[in-house]
Structure 1
Amino acid sequence: MDTIKIGIVGGGFIGPAHVEAVRRLGFVEVKAIAGSCEERAEQKAAELGIPDYYGDYRELLRDPEIVAVHNCTPNDLHFEINRAIMLAGKHVLSEKPLALNSRESGELLRLARSSGIVHGVNFNYRQFPILQQLSAMVERGELGDIHLIQGSYLQDWLLYDTDYSWRLDPKIGGATRAVADIGSHWCDTVQYVSGKRISEVCADFSTVIPVRRKALQRVTTFETSAAEVAAGSETDAYEDYEVETEDTASVLIRFEDGSKGSFTVSQVSAGRKNKLSFELSGSRQSAFWNQEEPQKLWIGHRDKPNEVLLADPSLFAEEARGSIHLPGGHNEGWPDALKNNMLQFYTFIREGRDPASDAMPFATFEDGHRSMRIVDAILSSHQEGRWVKVSELL
């Protein structure tokens, strides 16, 4: 296979990031984009230099030249569009969450298994070079037996009562917000690097701002604040909006092997822009990583000075070197982890590998369904005030 031609569905915050990432590969061409209407799709296609555009994703799926499709739409459309992509016989890379609940994600997984297509979910944090190195260290036993994992994922983009996004609407974003949006990333990342599986959870949610002031003018996630929109208006530009989903959540976790952990997620923590962090405590060493300083891995010792490993291919284990593309000191960050995810996905397709028998070196619908089961278990735990086993969910 020479150039792989693909389509993008969704032109909001994450869609253009996918376009930029795949274009860096050199062997993938973005042939078309579909938006919520033809006018918006045409505008986004012009901005991004994409040849074809559609106001309906189903028209894009009828293009015989398109081999794979990225689903970059809001959460409530993930199930419908992922299903349609697979039924059209095309490979699919979906944004997370895979669906709104584990019932839907389970159906998508069954269809993916039976269709023979390559399926991926954009849990791109596991593709950071330093986390590939940490995974190799854990696999080699350098940390010893890991008995505790703790951390958090903190943001501040919903700190003010004038901050609003479609993610706040449970009909679009789902019944849980902070947990599904960023907690899912934390859970996938720590399970990947530790090799452990979350089996049971106990959660407590908090809605810090129960009533928000929603801007009457459309605001795009992360791009323009509602306060800036209102400042440019001569009239009252807000309406009250009652919030039904959580701003923060604290979760106790148990892993299948009996080890323990905990994490907190928040979208109202001032100054924390995108701080996903965690610490693994092992019988020989500890390791700490913070996504806002992605080139550094802190390694803790009992009987000698602690260390900070900087991302450098010459210092990495052989199995982790393929994830880092520049010499030490040339920082690689979030866009590079996203590109790594695309590289793994499209290399798998280009080499004609079989998703039924070959290991897929990226997050798949298996991981997406596991994530939805964990998210649903966390939501049930908060609602029922008890520990909930992930196995209780389909």
Structure 2
Amino acid sequence: MYSSITAGVAGTGFIGPVHVEGLRRLGVRVKGLSSATLALAEEACQQLNLEHAYADFDEMLADDELDVIHLAVPNVLHYPMVKAVLAAGKHVMCEKPLAMTSEQGRELVALASQSKLKAGVNYNLRFYPMNLEVKQRLAQGDARIFTVVGGYQQDWLLYDTDYNWRVLADQGGALRAVSDIGTHWLDLVHFTTGLEVEAVLADLSTVHPTRRRPKGEVSSFNNEKLRDEDLEAISITTDDCANILLKFKGGAKGQLFVTQVSAGHKNRLTYDIATSDAAYEFNSERPNELLIGRRGAPSEFLLKDPALLTGLPAPYVNYPGGHNEGFPDTFKQCFRSFYDAILAGDAENPAESLYASFEDGLRELVICDAIIQSHAEQRWVYL
């Protein structure tokens, strides 16, 4: 079914090959890659056994065989590249965040709407089966949501010698930990609960105002040890961690803790959704498990099993119970939802699509604006 669609991927860093793998597992033809240089594209294509390395992004745009382009490039490139893809008449799946500013995001939402093309943002964590199960349970019941608390913790920027383009405001944006991983949590909470953020109270912290950068570029999650003479000091203004209080429309309250300097936590997203009926607890480092808390009955420990996850989660569970599905599977399943929409064409019902739209991407940018303002002014900011 998906083999009728041909895709190209821009970006050969950490996440570009993840897109390639997810697409190929789905059955999509991935013709090739573009990168910062032709040499990088050729190296990646050889490693991934792809047929074509594009000399540059413009050559990829000009390829009439490509129906879809995936953008797995630094944040600063999202806005101009999305505009170029839409202008070229191709569907686009963009890594988060959608753009550097909400003004850019609004423009991209308008352009995507005018183009009639499919446009998505890769908030892939929606597609852990247990998150789909929580979404279904909350939608089917009439329980009132009281609170949503949780966080996203990593340690890959723990030391002052840890460096990546994401720490630079001109490459990643004014926010870093919040934008890079915090928006995953915010998007997931909106997706599962349907709650809309009404106001934020934020406290941001830069643990390392000075980092020591390698005198050559490094990739994400690189553990290479460098000598002092190989490093240069740079000033950092982006956040290493953040505490954020949330007010949701309708009265529910929330709390989000985000950090990229928490030793031992490699990629830990957690939430605890407390309702008048039950509480739902999820941890992305144990993504095949869901704890369902009860007051007047025994609590449940639900393991991922296609025999038990019916309805909404069912199409996104591809392995039997006891056969774990993890991070790479979320990409495949996100792309499944997106490519189903492409195949449906005008018959697609956006209300039934599970992938994050450009409107969803814009929502996170608007929340980030409010977080920046709240921290600067040390007060609640209403959206």
Taking structure 2 as the reference length, the TM-score comes to 0.97
Distance in 1 (CA, whole Å) between partners of 2:121 and 2:149 is 24
Tell me which residue corresponds to 1:240. 233
Give the structure 2 partner of residue 174 of structure 1: 173
Equivalent position of 1:23 in the other structure: 24
Which of residues 284, 290, 293 in structure 2 aligns to 1:291?
A: 284
Which residue does the alignment assign to 1:135?
135
Change (3 A) 1:356 1:340: closer
DSSP 3-state at the match of 2:174: coil
Which residue does the alignment assign to 1:362?
Answer: 355
Q: Which moved more, 1:319-328 or 1:288-297?
A: 319-328
1-structure distance, mates of 2:94, 2:157: 25
Gaps of 5+ in 2: none
Q: Deviations over 1:140-185 (max 9, x none)?
A: 117x211100001000001011101100110001001001000100
Alpha-carbon distance between aligned partners in 2 of 1:318 and 1:36, rounded to the nearest angstrom: 43
Structure 2 residue identity aligned to 1:321: A
Question: What is the distance in 1 between the residues matched to 2:187 and 2:86?
Answer: 24
Is 1:252 aligned to 2:245, yes or no? yes
On the 8 A contact 1:79/1:104 being kept in 2, the answer is yes
Structure 1: which 5+ residue stretches go unaligned?
Answer: none
Q: CA deviation at 1:354?
A: 4.6
Structure 1 residue 3: Cα displacement: 2.0
Distance 2:82 2:350 in 1: 22
Secondary structure of 1:315's counterpart equals: coil
CA–CA distance in 1 between the matches of 2:236 and 2:348? 41
1:217: how far off? Answer: 2.7
Counterpart amino acid of 1:112?
Answer: A
AA at the equivalent of 1:383: A
CA distance in 2, matches of 1:278, 1:353: 36
The offset of 1:342, in angstroms, is: 0.8
User: 1:229 aligns to what?
Assistant: 226
1:268 is matched with which residue: 261, 270, 274? 261
In structure 2, how many angstroms separate the alpha carbons of the residues matched to 1:258 and 1:53? 52
Paired residue type of 1:266: T
Counterparts of 1:316 and 1:356, CA distance in 2 = 23
* TM-score, normalization by structure 1: 0.94
Aligned with 1:229: secondary structure?
A: coil
- Structure 1 residue 356 displacement after superposition: 7.7
Q: Which stretches of structure 1, 4 residues or more, deviate above 2 A after TM superposition? A: 350-361
Identify which range, 151-160 or 380-389, moves more after superposition. Answer: 380-389
CA pair 357-273 structure 1, distance change in 2 beyond 3 A:
closer
Out of 295, 318, 329, the position equivalent to 1:336 is 329
Asked whether the equivalents of residues 37 and 54 of structure 1 are also in contact (C-alpha less than 8 Å), the reply is no
Residue equivalent to 1:347: 340
**Per-residue deviation at 1:307?**
1.6
Structure 1 range deviating more: 316-325 or 175-184: 316-325
Question: After superposition, what is the alpha-carbon deviation per residue over 1:285-312, rounded to whole angstroms, capped at 9, x for unaligned?
Answer: 1110000000010011112222211011
How many angstroms apart in 2 are the aligned matches of 1:14 and 1:353? 30
Question: Which residue does the alignment assign to 1:161?
Answer: 160
Q: 1:353 to 1:333 in 2, by over 3 A?
A: farther
What code does the residue aligned with 1:165 have? N
Distance 1:356 1:380 in 2: 36
State the aligned residue count: 382
Deviations 1:246-300 (A, max 9, x none): 1010000011112111111000000000000000011111110000000010011
Q: Is the 8 A contact 1:36 1:55 kept in 2?
A: no
Partner of 2:51: 51
Secondary structure of the structure 2 residue equivalent to 1:263: strand
Q: How does 1:149-228 map to 2 (within 5 A)?
A: 149-225=148-224, 228=225
Quote the Cα distance in structure 1 between the aligned partners of 2:350 and 2:179: 30
Number of the residue aligned with 2:368: 375
**Deviation of the 1:355 alpha carbon:** 5.7
In the alignment, residue 199 of structure 1 is paired with which amino acid?
E
Instruction: Give the drift of 1:383.
Output: 1.2
What is the rounded CA distance, in whole Å, between the counterparts of 1:97 and 1:355 in structure 2? 24
Q: Deviations over 1:323-379 (max 9, x none)?
A: 111111110011111110011111221233456866432111011111111111111
DSSP 3-state at the match of 1:96: coil
Counterpart Cα distance in 1 of 2:166 and 2:56: 22
Contact 1:289/1:296 (<8 A) preserved: yes
Name the CA distance, whole Å, in 1 between partners of 2:156 and 2:271.
21
Q: Percent identity?
A: 42
Alignment of 1:12-161 (within 5 A): 12-26=13-27, 28-141=28-141, 144-161=143-160
Give me the whole-angstrom Cα distance separating, in 2, the residues matched to 1:64 and 1:359: 30
Q: Tell me how far apart the structure 2 counterparts of residues 353 and 31 of structure 1 sit (CA, whole Å).
A: 26
Structure 1 residue 51, shift from structure 2 partner: 1.3
Residue 300 of structure 2 aligns with which residue?
307
Residues of 1 paired with 2:328 and 2:240: CA distance? 26
Residue 19 of structure 1 aligns with an amino acid whose one-letter code is: V
In 2, the alpha carbon distance for the partners of 1:40 and 1:328 equals 40
Larger mean CA deviation between 28-37 and 291-300 belongs to: 28-37
- Determine the C-alpha separation between the residues in 2 that align with 1:180 and 1:357: 25
Cα deviation per residue 1:186-235 (whole Å; 9 max; x = unaligned)? 0000111111111211100011111111111321111334xx133xxxx7
